[in-house]
Amino acid sequence: MTDRTPPAGGDARPLGTGALVAGGLVALFALRKMGPLGLAAVAAGGAYLYHRMREGDGIAPGAAHKPSRWLRVHRSVTIARPRNEVFAYWRDPTHFPQFMSHVESVTAAGPDRHHWVVRGPAGTSFGWDAELYDIEQDRRIRWRTVPPADVRSEGTVVFDDAPDDGTEVHLTLTYEAPGGRLGAAIARLLGEEPDVQARDDLMALKRLLEGQPSTGAAGSPLG
């Protein structure tokens, strides 16, 4: 489920055309390609618009200073593999491109810190650094973007035992969306699509760890 606060009120003047097109393309692309952390690609488009606002690209004074808000997505899936195996796989983010369709690469950038690159529209790409923290062995992993990322994003994945030596994977992702007219537009674009894409990536992980064909039928997610 995706939670979001009500849209903020309108601004006095329209967005500059160049900023709107560039940021809008990123947002629309991310709606089709995002996975659990690919929401940051939407936020990247919003961040670009935000900075153009601050530069005065046809934006009313003060429009860039609308308060931000957090969007949240939660999805779960049951994987027929032992909990320690599923945890160990997720513990290494360099595995993520194998099941997150939007992720181009994840490379180590320090202890429990990684640089993410995701595919964007028209051959573009976007990158940011994120760190793992609050790690409880075989139970929980939390991560967050680190400065100078334009957008704050946090995630938690919890691993519970399931029947027949399986594992329930519970994923929660939150990210900060710009406020004002821009944030309202992105929130309307998002709709329920982040839930669908998060589910699809978790189901891809399920197929991968269970040794199923990548395009075959998969079991039902929990929600």
Tens-binned pLDDT, residue by residue, of the chain (223 aa): 555 544 444 443 344 434 444 444 444 444 444 444 555 555 555 555 455 444 444 444 444 445 556 778 899 999 999 999 999 999 999 999 999 888 899 999 999 999 998 876 677 787 889 999 999 999 999 999 998 876 678 999 999 999 999 999 999 988 776 555 555 555 555 444 667 778 899 999 999 999 998 654 344 444 5
Residue 43 pLDDT: 55
Q: Compute CA distances 143 → 87, 157, 172, 173, 194, whole Å.
A: 14, 9, 11, 9, 18
* Residues with Cβ within 8 Å of residue 95, at least 6 apart in sequence: 89
In a domain, 50, yes or no: yes
Asked if 45 and 93 count as a contact pair (C-beta separation under 8 A), the reply is no
- The range of the structural domain enclosing residue 28 comes to 11-210
Cis peptide bond upstream of 148, omega within 30:
yes
Residue 207 pLDDT: 97
In a domain, 169, yes or no: yes
Q: Are strands 125-136 and 153-162 parallel, antiparallel or unpaired?
A: unpaired
In a domain, 22, yes or no: yes
Residue 15 pLDDT: 40
In the block, tokens 């097109």 appear at: 21
Asked if 45 and 27 count as a contact pair (C-beta separation under 8 A), the reply is yes
Residue 67 pLDDT: 55
Residue 196 pLDDT: 78
Residue 45 pLDDT: 52
In a domain, 122, yes or no: yes
In a domain, 218, yes or no: no
Tell me the DSSP string of 169-193: EEEEEEEEEP-HHHHHHHHHHHTTH
CA dihedral 57, 116, 171, 184 (to 10 degrees): 0
Structural domains in the chain (count): 1
Question: Which domain CATH number covers 91?
Answer: 3.30.530.20
In a domain, 41, yes or no: yes
Residue 194 pLDDT: 66
Residue 101 pLDDT: 82
Q: How many other CB atoms sit within 10 Å of the CB of residue 54?
A: 12
Residue 71 pLDDT: 77
Q: Are strands 2-3 and 69-79 parallel, antiparallel or unpaired?
A: antiparallel
Residue 29 pLDDT: 47
Please list, residue by residue across 153-186, b when 16 or more beta carbons sit within 10 angstroms of its beta carbon and e when fewer do: bbbbbebeebeeebbbbbbbbbbbbbbbbbbbbb
Residue 36 pLDDT: 47
- Smallest Cα–Cα separation from 95: which of 152, 35, 173? 35
In a domain, 138, yes or no: yes
In a domain, 6, yes or no: no
Q: How many other CB atoms sit within 10 Å of the CB of residue 64?
A: 20
In the block, tokens 């994003």 appear at: 153
